[in-house]
Amino acid sequence: MADRVLITTDDLENAVRINAALEQAGLDTAMVSSLDDVRQAVSGKEPAAIVLSGGLHETTAKRLLAAARDHAVSTLGLVEPTEDDPNEIGRELGLTDWLVKPVDPAEVTATVRRLIERRRLQQRTGILGESSAIQEVLVKIEQMAPVTSTVLIEGESGTGKELVARAIHDLSPRRGKAFIAVNCAAITETLLESELFGHEKGAFTGAAERRLGRFELANGGTIFLDEVAEMPPATQVKLLRVLEDRTFFRVGGTQPIQVDVRVIAATNKSLKDAVGLGTFRDDLFYRLNVLSIYLPPLRERRSDIPLLVRTFTAEFGKTHDKQFKGITPEAMQILVDADWPGNVRQLRNLIESMVVLAPQGEIKPSDIPPEIRDRVRTMPVRITAPGGGREATGQELEFIFRTLIELKMQLEDLRRRINDRPERVEVIEVGGGSEGRQIEPRSFDAQDPLAPSTQPLPPVIYKPGMTMSDVEKAAIDAALRETHGNRRKAAETLGIGERTLYRKLKEYAID
Ligand SMILES: Nc1ncnc2c1ncn2[C@@H]1O[C@H](COP(=O)(O)OP(=O)(O)OP(=O)(O)O)[C@@H](O)[C@H]1O
Ligand SMILES: [Mg+2]
pTM of the full structure: 0.69
Q: Is the pLDDT of residue 390 over 90?
A: no
DSSP state of 318: H
- For helices 343-357 and 394-419, the axis angle rounded to 10 degrees is 20
Q: Is the pLDDT of residue 428 over 70?
A: no
Residue 158 Cβ inside 6 Å of ligand 1? The answer reads yes
Ligand with minimal distance to 340 CA: 1
Candidate from 165-179, 372-386, 433-447 with smallest mean pLDDT: 433-447
What does the pLDDT average to over 147-154?
97
Bigger pLDDT: 38 or 188? 188
Residue 161 Cβ inside 6 Å of ligand 1? The answer reads yes
Candidate from 147-151, 275-279, 418-422 with smallest mean pLDDT: 418-422
**Identity of residue 230:** E
pLDDT at 240: 96
For residue 424, how far is its CA from the centre of ligand 1 (angstroms)? 50
Ligand with minimal distance to 345 CA: 1
Q: Is the pLDDT of residue 50 over 50?
A: yes
Contact in structure between 235 and 193 (CB atoms under 8 Å): yes
Q: Around 447, how many Cα atoms within 13 Å sit in the side-chain half-sphere?
A: 0
Residue to mutate, 152, 308, 311, 344, ligand 1, most ligand atoms under 8 Å from C-beta:
344
For residue 127, how far is its CA from the centre of ligand 2 (angstroms)? 14
Residue 155 Cβ inside 6 Å of ligand 1? The answer reads yes
Residues 6+ apart with CB under 8 A from 499: none
pLDDT at 204: 82
Q: What is the pLDDT of residues 219-250, one digit of tens each?
A: 999 999 999 999 999 999 999 999 999 999 99
Is the omega angle on the peptide bond into residue 102 within 30 degrees of 0, that is, cis?
yes
Q: Is 129 exposed, middle or buried (0-12, 13-18, 19+ CB in 10 A)?
A: buried
Candidate from 43-57, 152-166, 496-510 with smallest mean pLDDT: 496-510
pLDDT at 41: 64
What are residue 378's phi and psi, to 5 degrees?
-85, 140
To the nearest whole number, what is the mean pLDDT of the chain? 83
- For helices 394-419 and 468-482, the axis angle rounded to 10 degrees is 10
Q: How confident is the model at residue 1 (pLDDT cuts 50, 70, 90)?
A: confident
Bigger pLDDT: 493 or 352? 352
Ligand 1 atom nearest the C-alpha of 162 is 18
pLDDT at 474: 84
Contact in structure between 308 and 290 (CB atoms under 8 Å): no
Report CA-CA distances (Å) from 260 to 149, 175, 218, 251, 494.
12, 14, 8, 19, 50
Q: Around 251, how many Cα atoms within 13 Å sit in the side-chain half-sphere?
A: 27
Residue 344 Cβ inside 6 Å of ligand 1? The answer reads yes
Q: Shortest CA distance to 304 belongs to which of 292, 293, 295?
A: 295
Q: How confident is the model at residue 418 (pLDDT cuts 50, 70, 90)?
A: confident
- CA dist 308 and 314 (Å) reads 10
What does the pLDDT average to over 436-461?
42
- CA dist 421 and 454 (Å) reads 8
pLDDT at 391: 54
Q: How far apart are the first and last CA of the chain?
A: 68
- CA dist 394 and 161 (Å) reads 10
Q: Around 335, how many Cα atoms within 13 Å sit in the side-chain half-sphere?
A: 31
DSSP state of 9: -
pLDDT at 420: 64
The neighbouring-strand residues paired with 385 are 388
Candidate from 47-56, 117-126, 147-156 with smallest mean pLDDT: 117-126
pLDDT at 89: 86
What does the pLDDT average to over 55-65?
89
Report CA-CA distances (Å) from 60 to 9, 67, 198, 219.
12, 11, 61, 54
Q: Is 279 exposed, middle or buried (0-12, 13-18, 19+ CB in 10 A)?
A: middle
pLDDT at 401: 65
Ligand 1 atom nearest the C-alpha of 134 is 1
pLDDT at 442: 34
The four Cα atoms 429, 434, 435, 440 give a dihedral, to 10 degrees, of -30
Q: Is the pLDDT of residue 123 over 70?
A: yes
Q: How confident is the model at residue 406 (pLDDT cuts 50, 70, 90)?
A: low
- For helices 305-319 and 59-70, the axis angle rounded to 10 degrees is 40
Contact in structure between 35 and 63 (CB atoms under 8 Å): yes
Tell me the residue length of the chain: 511
Which residue, judged by its Cα, is nearest atom 7 of ligand 1?
160
